[in-house]
Structure 1
Amino acid sequence: MKIKEGYMPFHGYKTYYRIVGEKTGMKKPLVLLHGGPGSTHNYFEVLDALAQADGRQLVMYDQIGCGNSYVDGHPELWTAETWVAEFIAMREHLGLDEIHLLGQSWGGMLLLDYVCNYEHKGLKSLILSSTLPASWMWGEEQQRMICELPRDMQDAIAKATASGDYSDPIYAAAEDEYMLRHAAGKVTEDSPECLRRKVKKGKESYVVGWGPNEFTPLGTLRNYDVTKQLEDIREPSLVISGGNDLCAPYIAKYMYDRIPHAKWELFRACRHMSFVEENEQYIALMRQWLNAND
């Protein structure tokens, strides 16, 4: 399977991209927007099998501020406007005229911001994987799920949130436990290589863009809200979430109810990365959805 890597100049820096497979016939490329802000494309490599099984090109990249596109010391960069501009530039740079677009977690926010607030064309379908239409909604649902933690952990999170001091070991343990329950399992020697590989996470872009943790959107994205624009989306849209996801079922259903003619797939036993935890089922769903909407 052919894999091409390269860099696109952007804002005086460079954005890394990775292309799996080749364009073939009527099958449009699938472009993948990773989470964070400040995560990397790496976890999407578990979907390489989709390129081979379906004969479809996959395009992924490290958003500026992380991975092979790492930049720090520039807090002015970490805004939705920067990341949307980067995506628009990437489409033009790679000639991605007609595509399917998948956004996971923050990547889905990026997708929705682009679709709801920018002129666009050539999007065959949208896949909203474990994502959100508003920061306030995400924060409220995280606060609700924190109540399922042991009382000492709840108290530590409340204390850290009120004081802005996140150094308490009990708080660190609480955050770890919360993320283990709702984000992802621990990476082990049996995990896919792409998850075990050392990467440069964009801590600055996460903290400045989102906030100190998943519970508290305090960064430049704190006022992100496209709830009123969801009803104007015209592209075929697939909402995906997990039963134990940071993207609580309420959030997924909110999008499903308001995006015209949307479909919703709930991976009941999964957390925030159903494409990792139920990889074969996720790939089968992608094949069915993408071929139906080419």
Structure 2
Amino acid sequence: MHISEGYLPFLGHQTHWRVVEPDEELPGRAPLVLLHGGPGSTHNYFEVLDGLADLDGRRLVMYDQLGCGLSWDDGLAGHDELWRADTWLDEFDALRAGLGLERIHLLGQSWGGMLALMHLLDRGGVGVRSVVLSSTLASASLWGSEGHRRLRYLGADERRTMEETERSGRFDTPEFRAAEARYLELFCAGEPDESSPECLRRPKRTGRESYLAAWGDNELMPSGTLAGFEYAGRLKEVRCPALVVSGTQDLCSPLVAKQLADGIPGARWELFEGCRHACFVEDTPRYLAMLREWLDEND
């Protein structure tokens, strides 16, 4: 495989992109474009899927969304007005135009799946052959209620801390951050160690500013510009083939995933036993095999 990277101008700033090309690109293979989570994560964890390029003879395209990773610059500081859906939708439109991505498959994980749904339903999704909605959601309110339900998996003191903090709105305490870290360890991911892939251990510039403004302080309590994200009633409008992916221990609970799978006509749902929020990291071989089969079926 061959990897190339570069930048595209956007709103006076730059969007960093990364393309993985196979040694032999097979005819008729539309590229797979990957939308990372957050808002404010980076493309890094998607690099565990690089092997799909040679495995399936197709290009992979990933990028750091404005406000994080290599798409951050100091000129973005203090511009909270940018951290709303239209900014990232416009950026994705610019990426498609700049890289000539006319016919694609689309994979969105977590917030990236929300972005994928908005691209399909609000921007038309022209040229999208299929969509993979990985550990994502159609309803911020259901996501929040499922998160609160799962507080029962924490210890009594941690649950009490979460409940008292939500009432007070004072999140920056050691007790709350410890309880939050335990919740994320259970349902999102653990800290990388020396055995983790390099792309997970690599230092990165997360977009905490964009996360706070767009989602809120933490996963359970959406309060930002995306807090009103409610697309469950529009899922029937998705016209391309859709694959829903989630883990049994995922922030995207089985009920959240089921809402997506039931709402999209003809959708398929793959449940990864024992996986948390990044199934492609915790069971990479199965995820690669699943993607190869899905993409080949829908070219």
C-alpha separation in 1, matches of 2:201 and 2:216: 25
1:10 corresponds to which residue? 10
1:262 corresponds to which residue? 267
1:7-46 alignment, distance < 5 Å: 7-21=7-21, 24-46=26-48
1:102 corresponds to which residue? 107
Q: Paired residue for 2:51, among 37, 49, 52?
A: 49
Q: Greater shift after overlay, 223-232 or 164-173?
A: 164-173
2:160 corresponds to which residue? 155
C-alpha deviation, 1:147, in angstroms:
2.0
C-alpha separation in 2, matches of 1:193 and 1:25: 32
C-alpha separation in 2, matches of 1:24 and 1:199: 33
Q: Paired residue for 1:77, among 82, 90, 97?
A: 82
2:291 corresponds to which residue? 286
Q: Greater shift after overlay, 69-78 or 18-27?
A: 18-27
- Normalising by the residue count of structure 1, what TM-score does the alignment of the two structures yield? 0.98
1:65 corresponds to which residue? 67
Counterpart check, 1:167 vs 2:172: yes
Q: What do you get for the CA RMSD once the two structures are aligned? A: 0.9
* Amino acid aligned to 2:43: H
> CA deviation digits over 1:82-134, x for unaligned, max 9?
00110011001100000000000000000011111122311110000000001
C-alpha separation in 2, matches of 1:81 and 1:137: 23
C-alpha deviation, 1:72, in angstroms:
2.7
> CA deviation digits over 1:12-55, x for unaligned, max 9?
10000000005541010000000000000000000001112111
5+ residue gaps in structure 1? none
Q: Paired residue for 2:213, among 185, 204, 208?
A: 208
SS at 1:18 equivalent: strand
* Amino acid aligned to 2:114: M
C-alpha deviation, 1:193, in angstroms:
0.3
C-alpha separation in 1, matches of 2:153 and 2:202: 32
C-alpha separation in 2, matches of 1:257 and 1:68: 37
Q: Greater shift after overlay, 78-87 or 144-153?
A: 144-153
C-alpha separation in 1, matches of 2:95 and 2:152: 41
C-alpha separation in 2, matches of 1:193 and 1:123: 31
5+ residue gaps in structure 2? none
Counterpart check, 1:183 vs 2:185: no
* Amino acid aligned to 1:183: C
C-alpha separation in 2, matches of 1:135 and 1:89: 26
Give the share of equivalent positions with the same residue, in percent.
51
C-alpha deviation, 1:173, in angstroms:
1.2
> CA deviation digits over 1:162-189, x for unaligned, max 9?
1121232221111111000000122001
C-alpha separation in 2, matches of 1:82 and 1:8: 15
1:242-261 alignment, distance < 5 Å: 242-261=247-266
- Normalising by the residue count of structure 2, what TM-score does the alignment of the two structures yield? 0.97
Counterpart check, 1:238 vs 2:243: yes
